[in-house]
Amino acid sequence: MTSAPRRGAAFYLLAGFFTLFILFLYGPTLTIAILSFQGPQGGLTFPMNGVSLHWFFNLFERQAVGDFGGSFSRSLVLGLVVMVVTVVVSVTAGFAFRRGFRGGSVLFYLTVSSLVIPSILISLGIGLMFNIAGIEPAWYSSALGAHLTWTLPFGLLIVFAIFNRFDRSFEEAARDLGAGPWQTVRHVVLPIILPSLVGVALFGFTLSYDEFARSLMTAGSYNTLPLEIYGMTTNVTTPVLYALGTLTTAFSFVVIGAALAAVAVLRRRRAGR
């Protein structure tokens, strides 16, 4: 603790505030995680009425709640597709913006407006568009497009931030050594930005996996997981709701953890070279 003498009352006050903020962020989620282990007779609030896995088993009984397995696999597949498309499209667009092109600022502001237009409007607009065109909305078509309007702006902004910090002399060196444009991208640029692209992928997957408002009118006849959970909030009054919440959050944590681990491994491998 070499810096200890510099820490005054302000530090401890702010540290206390920060701790409360973290408690505020994680406390409720932790509480439902505990409550999802309620005994079979337990209710939605404390006290715990015994400890059991009853509500987790209950989750997998098909008649107890809606189609949990189906909605999970749809959300999973959709999230993966959105993730891949987000990474590819935002990186290629990032290259375009780096070179500069006519209409670039129009496209940039269109992308930013995609971020600030309320989700319910995207949902309504795409729903109406499919309705008028006479196409049945589905999670793999209309909902995919709706999710991309939310993930692509994040992806592009992150790619901008990556390229703004990118040292152009690496590319010049590659070019001087005789590498073609594609070789430069493939063997120099992409390996360098790869750890940051994991971040883009994480945004793409999780934002789609958790999206509710943009799926509302676009998912068609089969629910994605957030729609299923929302449906449960109105007609399920047992801790099975918490069990589902806990499982979904645990899955999110696994995804986040995997992404962070991937970044760490990629960074270390690059440093080791």
Partner 1 sequence: MSVTATSTVRPAARPAAADRAAAVRRLGRVVPYLQAAPLTLVLLVFLLVPILTIVVVSFWDYDSIRIYPDFVLTNYQELLGSPVTWKIYLNTLKFTALAWLFTLLIGFTVAYFLAFHVQSLTWQMALFLLCTIPFWTSNIIRMIAWIPFLGRNGLLNQALVGAGVVEQPLEFLLFSDFAVVLAYVHLYTLFMVVPIFNAMMRIDRALIEAARDAGANGRQILWNVILPLCKPGIAIGSIFVITLVMGDFITVRLMSGGQSASVGLVIANEISLLQYPAAAANAVVLLLVVTLMVAALLRIVDIRKEL
CA distances from 91 to 39, 136, 198, 256, 272 (A): 49, 31, 12, 21, 26
Q: Which is closer to partner 1, CB of 161 or CB of 190? A: 161
Written as six digits, the tokens of 249 are 């959050």
* CA atoms of 63 and 80, how far apart (whole Å): 28
- Distance in Å, CB of 19 to partner 1, minimum: 10
- Distance in Å, CB of 138 to partner 1, minimum: 14
Count other Cβ atoms within 10 Å, centred on residue 63: 5
- 21-29: long-range pairs with CB below 8 Å, 24+: 29/245, 29/249
Q: Which is closer to partner 1, CB of 117 or CB of 177? A: 117
35: left (phi over 0), alpha (psi -120 to 50) or beta: alpha
Q: Which is closer to partner 1, CB of 56 or CB of 230? A: 230
Q: Which is closer to partner 1, CB of 15 or CB of 173? A: 15
- Distance in Å, CB of 111 to partner 1, minimum: 7
- For residue 51, the cross-strand partners are 38
- Distance in Å, CB of 88 to partner 1, minimum: 8
Q: Which is closer to partner 1, CB of 40 or CB of 257? A: 257
Our CA dihedral for 44, 50, 53, 59, rounded to 10 degrees, sits at: -30
**Three-state secondary structure along 63-99?**
CCCCCHHHHHHHHHHHHHHHHHHHHHHHHHHHHHHHH
Contacts of 208 (CB under 8 A, 6+ apart): 75, 78, 79, 82, 83, 147, 150, 151
Q: Which is closer to partner 1, CB of 164 or CB of 235? A: 164
- Distance in Å, CB of 53 to partner 1, minimum: 19
- Distance in Å, CB of 73 to partner 1, minimum: 17
